[in-house]
Amino acid sequence: MSDKADKTDKAPGIPVPSTVKATEPVAESERALPRFEVELLKPHTHARTDYAPGDKIKVTAEQRTWLKDLGVIAGDTSEK
């Protein structure tokens, strides 16, 4: 591979942290995390989809905590 090929393979001016790989797929362990069905109290966008108050979505425990802290969902939710 020549130096010219190396330079054109990278996007100029867009730094990518060394800990992030743009082509890295979602880990299988991430897919296996328990999901919780939560009811939204406020409008919310989840997985690039807009939801209205009263809609239900499934989230991980970490996402559930974050949504609770923002007041987007109620405090009591169950694992589904």
pLDDT tens, 42-62? 999 988 999 999 999 999 999
Q: What average pLDDT does the chain have? A: 76
In angstroms, the Cα distances linking 48 to 12, 28, 29, 45, 64 are 27, 21, 22, 6, 17
In the chain the beta strands, taken as DSSP E runs, fall at 36-39, 44-46, 49-51, 56-59, 78-79
**30 compared with 42, residue with greater pLDDT:** 42
36 is a domain residue: yes
Please indicate, yes or no, if residue 41 is contained in any of the structural domains: yes
- Does residue 8 lie in a domain region? no
**The pair of three-digit structure tokens given for residue 62, joined into one six-digit string:** 């970490």
- 3-state secondary structure (DSSP) of residue 42: coil
What 3-state class would DSSP assign to 4?
helix
Residue 39: domain span? 29-74
Any domain includes 53: yes
What's residue 75's pLDDT? 79
pLDDT at 74: 87
pLDDT of 69 > 90? The answer is: yes
Model confidence, pTM: 0.56
Number of domain units in the chain? 1
Q: What is the pLDDT of residue 49?
A: 94
13 located within any domain? no
Q: CA 51, 31, 43: angle at the middle one, nearest 5?
A: 10
